[in-house]
Chains A and B, each alone.
Chain A
Amino acid sequence: MSTTEQKAGAPFRMVVEMGKIREFARATKSGNPEYLEVENPVAPATFLVTSAFWQNTRGGNQAGSGFTSYERVLHGAQEFIFHGEPPRAGTALTVQARPGPSYEKTGRRGGVMKFHETVTEYRDETGRLVAEAHGTIIETSQAPTGGTDK
């Protein structure tokens, strides 16, 4: 267990933007007019990963997960839960990430894998919880060697 390095991230603001929704929808191979042809589209189901752009850290979207090296990190699982429809363009969200459980497993090839879960909450202007993201990052002790090493 390595919980000592884990901290809740500072809350930050994220505005759901129409252009970003369209960019994200196209990057995920969507031609759906509900994203691309209306003035107030809902966010695509995995769009909230773009909170990375609103967070004052380099690159990643796993605030508080505590990992330090891209070369030893795999994304194991990811979940998005919506309490109602996904947020629409124009919604200003407050994003707060906190660490979930951390645990270790021994991999098939003998390396130790550390699992770090992160829970991120997205609240609208009224404070209503509109969405949650639950992510699991796997930190490996040795380089994965190809196709099936997870």
Chain B
Amino acid sequence: MSAPRAAELAEGTELEPFTDKPLTVTDFVRYQGASGDMNPAHHDTEFAQRAGFPTPFAVGMLQAGVLATYLTDQFGASAIRRIKVQWKEQAWPGDVLTYRATVVGTRHEDGQHYVDLEATVTRQTGGVHLIGWATFVVEP
């Protein structure tokens, strides 16, 4: 990995955005099988409608995972130290989501350099699906 170094990560630096393919229920099912969260609201239309939703909706943790993929692809899988997500509006099958991240700052603590990032995942409507924060260890 040639991850960016602390010296290259000025506050406000924006990472190259990532736009995913349209979400499918198959994405949800695959993630649910992998994660063990079998909430039927993400794949069972009748169940979702009984619960008041028009259709099954996206598994929030899938997008959290894809956000982690987006960030670890750039900073390294073993370099992550923190990721937090907070969900805003739901995402739905067919949604095209764009992942973005911005450098909040870099720190030097206990002999390590860290970069702190803020992220957003937005729908094609402009609506925000989730906001996130992440911290990675970086080279000086």
Contacts and interface: CB of A to CB of B under 8 A. Distances in A.
Interface of A: 20, 23-30, 32, 34-35, 41-42, 44-46, 49-50, 52-53, 59-61, 70-83, 85-86, 134, 143-148, 150
A75 B61 contact: yes
A96 B39 CA distance: 22
B17 to A, nearest CB: 15
A23 B90 CA distance: 25
A59 B83 contact: no
Dominant secondary structure at the A interface: mixed
Nearest to A78: B85
Contacts of B39: 59-60, 70, 73
Interface of B: 1, 20, 27, 30-31, 33-41, 47, 50-54, 60-62, 64-66, 68-69, 71-73, 76-90, 92, 127, 134
A75 B87 contact: yes
Contact of B66 (A28, A61, A78, A86): A28
